[in-house]
Structure 1
């Protein structure tokens, strides 16, 4: 018996079509099997060029070679190359190799609109050059602020270019935060001979720092544009979001932003790179596209292999913001970062019936603490000792004890 009116059947017909499509997509997803073509294991040995010509400061360029996706090692650096910054109808400036594959040039001040490029001669004599690009002067960052909202602690940036010549922007940021260990040991393990040890007062100078600093570079490509708008102005662009209970806000946090004004071609390159690297993984994501930079192989009759990378020319604007624990809204309770270290372990070498002998106690302590990755913290009357892994005690496993120059 059919209890549906004709009008309801009409409404349900599109739903049935969507359900059919959903079933088809679900079936396809269930049939997907991993496939690794041979080219993944045997890629061409392409030159990779990272960096830009700094129009108002030192230029830093990194050269490396592509490797197989299946390779677990880092890309090999392209060492002992000769690099030049060339101005069209003007002088050239050499870069110096400061580490294998890393090249640095002296600070330059290049006028806006000047055409320049990067020239590369590898140790094997291969010749590469980027296209000549116009120098762009990056406007300053007007404001960098944070707001506590339901979505988290949001960091917003505002900038503008009254001349209207910037339009295409890229931002990089790095974060620094204080790390405060939750344990401060007052005892220490001392070896007293083969297979034996004791617990005594901690040595001087105190071996564990009271504070460290963690840091991280921006992992994503962050870009935006104002082309087509009435003003070359970016207002309250959300750059970074931290969870409301982020451990990076436990004591003090800093965010430094570096702003770059790009040409349209360089912006398009970064936009495509972002799509290829960050939005791949599901049936509905954008499919990978061929990435074409502006670095060319100049060798005639050579292997003709292109290089990967886009070398632009622009200045950099920078701004830093600090957020202290006392500035956070009332009721905010950031994590310490050491939640997995609670509670402490108990090591009791005195337990037993009958009680262990002095030699047995020394052997138990040696077995527990001879490995420096496990550390006694303090005495607990009637229970022995608190103890925990070195990662819970020495904050140098999570950062550096050297205070940053800007802190």
Structure 2
């Protein structure tokens, strides 16, 4: 049996979705992956990367040196700015619904790519978001409809924000590397907020229904043991209206992602998108560009409304313990003074938590990951947080 070196397709968009693994391509090439959409009335975010060798160490390969523009059928051009991580962002654009638009890309090695011109297809509003407690976890549902009966094909992605809490609350902060003081409320590192993005392709269609209505469409499932549910979670859902061609592309992409490794699965080479390499027309390009206004809605779920039997996996804090460090410590039989606070706390090896019974003796500390939640997220409470 022949052995093939597989290429793992990875779609990476920091602001849009997690990595989505596709069935390996039997090839050695590094193909361009384009993820994102042209957003009417808001900024557009396009993520560029290249396929990577599944046998290699690299898990992602962002394209950071490209020139990216949005072009209209009327001849206008709108540049996107590189964020140096593979993401390219435009200013908020009030694009005309009467024109078609495409994406133009010149990569760092000089290759030129362009999408087909696509029509503007605006999403109707999201009617409501809801959730359901299932045996397998917390299910997030979306409801929407188009009274004009013109949409029929939908795609959703989301960003969830959740609160985490350190194992220990630090009351002290190191000042100038040689002393400690009590933390102010603004300096707290006990409560933080993290963001995560949807890692699946979520599609819905009303094409076979009498009315253009989507009811209780499941778009996310959060496991009962997820730390996201420990305190509370806020989910921002974005709804995209698709053409039938775009829906068929993402539907095949979804099936390919769900069935990685099957002998009879659809091959990525069959994923015919609407982006082409102008420099080499035979070169595959992974991605499909759409254009339109995106509908958004937010849902907050408090832990108090979830089953008390759902316990979060807090293995991140495994091995955490409190340590007492003294300013001056003389080990038995040694006679040599050890300055434990200066050696372990002031250097950042440990993070101070509190003073010992006598503040002049020393401090109680722990490893930074057990105390400092800013190692994982931001301590600034989001404006939308309830």
Query: TM over 0.5: same fold?
Result: yes
Unaligned runs of 5+ in 2: 8-24
Equivalent positions of 1:205-244 (< 5 A) are: 208-244=188-224
RMSD over equivalenced CA pairs, Å: 3.9
1:312 to partner: Cα distance? 1.3
- Judging by fraction of residues, say which structure has more helix: 1
Matched, 1:391 2:369: yes
TM-score (ref. length: structure 1): 0.73
Equivalent positions of 1:172-183 (< 5 A) are: 172-183=157-168
Is 1:171–1:258's contact at 8 Å kept on the other side of the alignment? Answer: yes
Please give the alpha-carbon distance, in whole angstroms, between the structure 2 residues aligned to 1:46 and 1:404.
Answer: 38
1:354 to partner: Cα distance? 8.5
1:265 to partner: Cα distance? 1.1
Correspondence for 1:372: 348
CA gap of 1:229–1:373, structure 2 versus 1, over 3 A, is: farther
Is 2:322–2:364's contact at 8 Å kept on the other side of the alignment? Answer: yes
Please give the alpha-carbon distance, in whole angstroms, between the structure 2 residues aligned to 1:111 and 1:334.
Answer: 49
Correspondence for 1:335: 312
CA offsets 1:243-274 (integer angstroms, 9 cap, x no match): 34543233332011000011111111112222
Please give the alpha-carbon distance, in whole angstroms, between the structure 1 residues aligned to 2:347 and 2:3.
Answer: 44
CA offsets 1:347-392 (integer angstroms, 9 cap, x no match): 5879x998466634x256666556624335346679x975432111
Out of 293, 296, 309, the position equivalent to 1:318 is 296
1:141 to partner: Cα distance? 0.7
Matched, 1:344 2:324: no
CA gap of 1:128–1:355, structure 2 versus 1, over 3 A, is: closer
Correspondence for 1:164: 149
CA gap of 1:78–1:253, structure 2 versus 1, over 3 A, is: closer
Is 2:188–2:379's contact at 8 Å kept on the other side of the alignment? Answer: no
Correspondence for 1:288: 267
Is 1:173–1:257's contact at 8 Å kept on the other side of the alignment? Answer: yes
Is 2:154–2:205's contact at 8 Å kept on the other side of the alignment? Answer: yes
What secondary structure, in the 3-state scheme, does the structure 2 residue paired with 1:391 have? helix
Out of 76, 97, 107, the position equivalent to 1:111 is 97
Matched residues, number: 360
1:403 to partner: Cα distance? 2.8
What secondary structure, in the 3-state scheme, does the structure 2 residue paired with 1:133 have? coil
Which protein shows a greater Rg?
A: 1
Matched, 1:400 2:385: no
CA gap of 1:388–1:116, structure 2 versus 1, over 3 A, is: same
Please give the alpha-carbon distance, in whole angstroms, between the structure 1 residues aligned to 2:70 and 2:202.
Answer: 28
CA offsets 1:254-306 (integer angstroms, 9 cap, x no match): 011000011111111112222223321466x835342221112334xx57424
1:167 to partner: Cα distance? 1.3
What secondary structure, in the 3-state scheme, does the structure 1 residue paired with 2:193 have? strand
CA gap of 1:378–1:141, structure 2 versus 1, over 3 A, is: same
Out of 219, 222, 243, the position equivalent to 1:263 is 243
What secondary structure, in the 3-state scheme, does the structure 1 residue paired with 2:90 have? strand
Equivalent positions of 1:3-402 (< 5 A) are: 35-37=3-5, 43-69=28-54, 70-72=56-58, 74-77=60-63, 79-87=65-73, 90-100=74-84, 101=86, 102-111=88-97, 114-122=99-107, 126-186=111-171, 202-203=181-182, 208-281=188-261, 286=265, 288-290=267-269, 291-299=271-279, 302=280, 304-326=282-304, 328-329=305-306, 331=308, 334-335=311-312, 337=314, 340-341=317-318, 344-347=321-324, 355=332, 359-360=336-337, 362=338, 369=345, 372-378=348-354, 387-402=365-380
1:77 to partner: Cα distance? 1.5
Unaligned runs of 5+ in 1: 1-32
CA gap of 1:165–1:68, structure 2 versus 1, over 3 A, is: same
Is 1:49–1:63's contact at 8 Å kept on the other side of the alignment? Answer: yes
